Amino acid sequence: MNPVVFERATVRALMTLPGPVLERFAVGLETHSRSHLDSRLRFLLALSGAKPTLNSGTVEQARRNYRDMISLLDVAPVRLPVVVDHQVTVDDGSQILVRRYRPANAPRVAPAILFFHGGGFTVGGVEEYDRLCRYIADRTDAVVLSVDYRLAPEHPAPAGMDDSFTAWRWLLDNTAQLGLDPQRLAVMGDSAGGCMSAVVSQQAKLAGLPQPALQVLIYPTTDGALAHPSVQTLGQGFGLDLPLLTWFRGHFIQDPAVIEDYRVSPLRNPDLAGLPPAIMITATDPLRDEGLEYAEKLRAAGNAVTSLDYPKLVHGFISMGGVIPAARKAINDICDETKQRL
C-alpha cells in the first residue's frame, strides 16, 4: 500500500476514537500546553511532533511533504460538472494555471471566488488545493477559480502578488465568457493566499479597476517583518513554528527593502478607505495579531469587517476538514458566510 494512503487510513481510524480518549493520548505525547485546543487537533499536533518539519530539508522535499500532509488531512473530493484549466500570461511572459470549478447549482450568471492557496509563498499549488476548492464551490454554489501563482525562492516577492493581480485583471476581462456576474466576484485565500486577497483588493483600488465584492482573509499574513507579539507567544507548538515562518520568509523576501512594499505588507498601507467588505478569519496562530490589526485598521478606515475566530483551531485548519470535525465546521462557516454575502 502507498505509505501516504496507509498513513491517511491510520490517522482517520484514530480520529474516530472518542475525544476524551484522544485527549488523554495527546497529554502523554505533547511537549507544549495546548489544553484549550480541540481534542482531535491536540492529538494530531502531538503526532506531528515526531515527523520532520517542512524546513528540515530542501524546498522540493518541503513541497512533496506539504502535498502529502494535505492529502492526509483534507476533505474528500467532490465531483463537479465543470473543471477546466486556463492559462494566464504574467509579466515575465510565462503562463500560470487558473483552474475553474463550476458546481451543479451555480446560477446561469454565477458569483465567483478567485482563490489563492497558502504555503508560505513557497509550497502548495492548485493540485494540492483541488479538493478544498471543489468543496468550496459545491458549498457556496459559486464558481471557484484557483490561481497557481509563481512560488519563491525561484520567484521572490513581489512576483506572486503581481501574478495574483494579473489573475484578477484576467477575471474581469473574462466574466461574460465564463458566465460570471461581474458584481459578485470575491477574492479568498488562506495564509499567504489571504495576503494576496488583501493585496488584490488594494491594488484594484489603486489601479482604478473594479474591486472585489468581498475579500475573505483566512488567517492572513499582512506584514513581512514577523514582529507582532503572537509570532513569539504562539510560534512554538501550534503547527506553524517560528523557524518554519522564518524559513518561508527567507525564501520569499530576498530583499529586506520589499517589506515596506504594500504588495508584501498590506498592513502598512496608510490608505485603507474604500476597500471591499472583508471576512477576517483567525485562530490560535502566530499570524493572529497581524490579522486582527488589519481587521481593526479596515474598520477604522470605514470598511465593513466580519470576524470569525476559532481559538480551538490552529493555522492550516482549512486543510484539515477530512479528519477534524471542528475544522470542517469552520470551513462550512466560512463558505456559508461567503455565500450569504455574495
Active site residues: 191, 285, 315
Distance CA 61, CA 102 (A): 32
C-beta of residue 337 within 8 angstroms of C-beta of residue 217: no
Grid cell 485603507 in the structure block, residue? 272
Question: Helix (H, G, I), strand (E, B), or coil: what is residue 70?
Answer: helix
C-beta of residue 191 within 8 angstroms of C-beta of residue 219: yes
Distance CA 167, CA 272 (A): 22
Q: Which residues of 81-119 are buried (b: 16+ CB within 10 A; e: fewer)?
A: eeeeebebebeeeeebebbbbbbeebeeebbbbbbbbbb
Grid cell 470535525 in the structure block, residue? 325
> Which alpha helices (DSSP H) does the chain contain, by range?
3-14, 19-29, 39-48, 59-73, 130-140, 159-173, 175-178, 192-207, 229-233, 242-252, 288-300, 325-341
Question: Helix (H, G, I), strand (E, B), or coil: what is residue 319?
Answer: helix
C-beta of residue 201 within 8 angstroms of C-beta of residue 212: yes
Distance CA 320, CA 326 (A): 9
Distance CA 195, CA 265 (A): 8
The answer for residues whose C-beta is within 8 angstroms of residue 56's C-beta and 6 or more apart is none
Question: Which grid cell is 32?
Answer: 507544549
